[in-house]
Every structure is written in structure tokens, then in C-alpha cells.
Structure 1
Amino acid sequence: MGVPGGGEREAILRSAMRLFAALGYDGTSLDQIADTAGVETTAIGGHFGTKRELYLAVMDEANRVIGTVMDSRAAELRDAPPERRPEALRRYIDDHIDVCAKYPQIPALWMHRWLADATDIDLDPVSTRVMIQHSVDSVDLLARPAGADARLVMYMLFWCINGFSLGGVLDDAGRRRHADDPEMLDRFRAHMHQVLGRVLRLPDDGPGPLP
């Protein structure tokens, strides 16, 4: 996930990301990370110091990846003329869905935090808050005229995308279909367009794609 290819440090970071996403911070040991990365446990201390510092590096990388998408699309939405904002919002939704589908470790890491994992570790409140605030401010351009709460609209989007990325949907046959199922991914994408469109009272059919 954006982590450069070779090198011991990168192998440790990639392994830690996978394990923290799967087991949570509290459920993962340094020995497990070292074994997965194919290094000695002491090597982790040499590169990251402590388990806490390694976790912070993992979360920084996850937030960098999704923050790049969120900031770019939030800026596009903010700068779009009024008639182009519905399509800019759909682009924001699509790219957010796509990055979580491509990197399910990101929603998994945050889901663990929501379930009280690593409660003794405070992430950088400034960078996280700024990343979210950019999106809230941009969506507020559509939310305010509709009488909607921009912050809750954005958190609803985050919750839905994270839930779908990790849990998928049970179909009529009882099969669980995830974001790696193209048909279900398209259905979820269209559904989120519809949900936010109705919450924000947007026209059903916006103008063509942004250039």
C-alpha cells in the first residue's frame, strides 16, 4: 500500500500493516510481525523503536493513502461550479470506495480503532481532523442548501464504505459478496450515489463527467 518495494524496513511495515488490520494492535505481537516479515524481532526496534511507534507509522501510511484521495476530490468538489458539484461528489464517493476496495487494510485498521483497539495510543489529532474537515467543508456546499448536516453525511459515507469493504453483502443464495465482486461493487457504488443524492436533494442525473 504505497510502501516502497524492497528493504527490511518496508517488509516490517507491510507485515505490521497486514497483521494490525487482521488482528488489531492489541492482538498482534512483535514476534508475529518479525516472523511474517522474515526478520529478527530486534530488527523492528532498530527501525521503529517500539511497537507503538511501528503502529503510528502504519497508521500514518494508511492515512496518507486515503488522505491523498480525500483531499484531491474534496478540493475538486469545493472548486466546482454549482452545476458541476453533484458529479464532483460522485467522483469523491467513487474514489473513496475504490481506495478502500483496493486497500481493505485501511478500513480494517480504522474498524479496530472504533472497537476500542489501541485505546492508549492517540493518533495525530491535527492531521486526522484536517483531513476530515476538508471533506466536511466541501460537502457543506451541498448540505447546507438541503438542510443536511455535512459532518454526519460524511461520517455516514465513511461508515457505509468501511462496512461494505469488510463485511460485504449476503445475496439471495446466502453467499457473501465483497468489493472484489465487480457486480456488487457497482451496485454498492450506485446505491451510495443514490443515498447521498437524496440526503442532499440532488438531481438524479447530473451533467457529464468532469474533465
Structure 2
Amino acid sequence: MDREEMEERVLKAAGRMFSQLGYDATTLEMIAGAVGRGSECSELLQRGKQGLYREVFAYIYKLSEDRMRTALEKASDDAGGLHYTVDEYIDLILEHPEIPALWKQRGLLDAVDIDFPEEHLQPPLQAALTSRRWEGTRPDLDLKFLSWLVMWSMGGFIDNGLPDDSGQCHLADHPPTLQYFRARLHEMIDRMA
């Protein structure tokens, strides 16, 4: 395994640990144990927990930003493009559920003393949705608020799932529930737009 692959493994393992346990409860030893205790891993962990935490956020920010940039390049400038961009965000979070979980930990005042660069504070979905006027949508559509509704909805769905008609809760890995969630979210967007 080359250094770049090891670095990605460390960032993914640290992201999982920080998102599940929080910064304060996660130790470098836990991360090393999840990755494997090779000399390459030890070298990467010598950056310190705070440095690694910042790198995890930079990593997930870049993942999100790249995904949203690609979505915008492919999306049309109309309401269909807005829906396409939201679908890309949904798929990103399904692939990386640690993204909303890390921000949720921050919301619980975990590692609140660690600052981030200003440019990492605007969520990439918000930047994407507010980057253009989507033809066929209301001129007064609050795209910033819409982006936050999507992010909050997706974070809650990833954490809690949705109950079916019988009351049984299903998570995002249940195809009919995911299809239902996606359809209702797009329906909400249509009503707002």
C-alpha cells in the first residue's frame, strides 16, 4: 500500500471514529487500531489528533465540493437541474454518511474549540444551489434555506430512517424507503419552487 492509499485509509477511519464517537472520545490509538499499526500509519498519526481532525474535515469538504461541482457541470439550468443536483447530494451522503454525522457532532459542541478556515464553513450544497437562478422556479425561492432543508432532511434520514405504514422504521439501505424518501423530498422542492 502506497503512502497516498494509507493516508486515505487513515482519513476514512478517523472520519468514521470522529463521526460515531466524537472528537473528544476518539483517541489516536483507536484510529491506529482501525487502520492497522504499520509504521506508515504511525507516521501519519504523528500529526496529532487536532491536525488529523482538521484534515478529516478538509477531506470531506473536498469530497462534497468536487461532487457538487461535477453535478453543476452536468445539470441543466432549470428545475430539472436543481433536482439533479439534489439527487447528487443524496447519493454523496449515502456513500459517505460520516459527512452529516461529523457536522452533527460539531452541533453537539464536540471539538468546538477547533476552528476551520472560513471557506470550509459554507456547505458545498448551499454553494451549488445558490450559484445560479434555476429557470422555471419562483424568483423569490430561498435557495439557501432550501439547501439547509435538504441537508437537515438527509442527515435525519441517514440517522433515523423512516417508518413505513405499519410503523416499522427502515434505514436508507432499504430500497423502497430510499425511493419513498427521494420522491417526497423532490415533491417538497417542487412545492417550494
Indicate the TM-score class for this superposition, using the shorter chain for normalisation. Answer: 0.7 to 0.9
1:56 is displaced (CA, Å) by 1.1
SS at match of 1:137: coil
The separation in 1 between residues aligned to 2:40 and 2:95, in whole angstroms, is: 32
SS at match of 2:122: helix
Matched, 1:133 2:127: yes
Matched, 1:165 2:158: yes
2:88 alignment partner AA: D
The separation in 2 between residues aligned to 1:121 and 1:41, in whole angstroms, is: 28
Aligned match for 1:102, one of 90, 95, 104: 95
Q: Quote the residue 1:176 is aligned against.
A: 169
Structure 2 unaligned spans of 5+: none
Q: Deviations over 1:5-36 (max 9, x none)?
A: 843x3332222111111111122111211222
Aligned match for 2:44, one of 43, 47, 53: 47
Contact kept, 8 Å, 1:177 with 1:184, in 2: the verdict is yes
* Sequence identity percentage: 28
SS at match of 2:131: helix
Matched, 1:58 2:56: yes
The separation in 1 between residues aligned to 2:118 and 2:131, in whole angstroms, is: 18
For the structure 1 residues 122 and 75, does the alpha-carbon distance in structure 2 shift closer, same or farther, using more than 3 Å as the test?
A: farther
For the structure 1 residues 50 and 103, does the alpha-carbon distance in structure 2 shift closer, same or farther, using more than 3 Å as the test?
A: same
Q: Deviations over 1:121-163 (max 9, x none)?
A: 122221443833343232x446983423221111111111111
Return the TM-score normalized by structure 1: 0.78
The separation in 2 between residues aligned to 1:199 and 1:35, in whole angstroms, is: 47
Contact kept, 8 Å, 1:11 with 1:37, in 2: the verdict is yes
Matched, 1:124 2:123: no
For the structure 1 residues 42 and 117, does the alpha-carbon distance in structure 2 shift closer, same or farther, using more than 3 Å as the test?
A: farther
1:116 alignment partner AA: L
1:116 is displaced (CA, Å) by 1.7
1:76 is displaced (CA, Å) by 4.7
The separation in 1 between residues aligned to 2:56 and 2:5, in whole angstroms, is: 17
Contact kept, 8 Å, 2:13 with 2:34, in 1: the verdict is yes
For the structure 1 residues 137 and 188, does the alpha-carbon distance in structure 2 shift closer, same or farther, using more than 3 Å as the test?
A: same
Q: How many residues align?
A: 189
SS at match of 1:113: helix
Contact kept, 8 Å, 2:82 with 2:129, in 1: the verdict is no
Q: Quote the residue 1:209 is aligned against.
A: none
Contact kept, 8 Å, 1:15 with 1:37, in 2: the verdict is yes
Return the TM-score normalized by structure 2: 0.84
The separation in 2 between residues aligned to 1:115 and 1:109, in whole angstroms, is: 10
Tell me whether 64-73 or 126-135 shows the greater mean CA deviation: 126-135
Structure 1 unaligned spans of 5+: 201-211
SS at match of 2:109: coil
Tell me whether 95-104 or 67-76 shows the greater mean CA deviation: 67-76
For the structure 1 residues 130 and 94, does the alpha-carbon distance in structure 2 shift closer, same or farther, using more than 3 Å as the test?
A: closer
For the structure 1 residues 162 and 180, does the alpha-carbon distance in structure 2 shift closer, same or farther, using more than 3 Å as the test?
A: same
Tell me whether 119-128 or 191-200 shows the greater mean CA deviation: 119-128
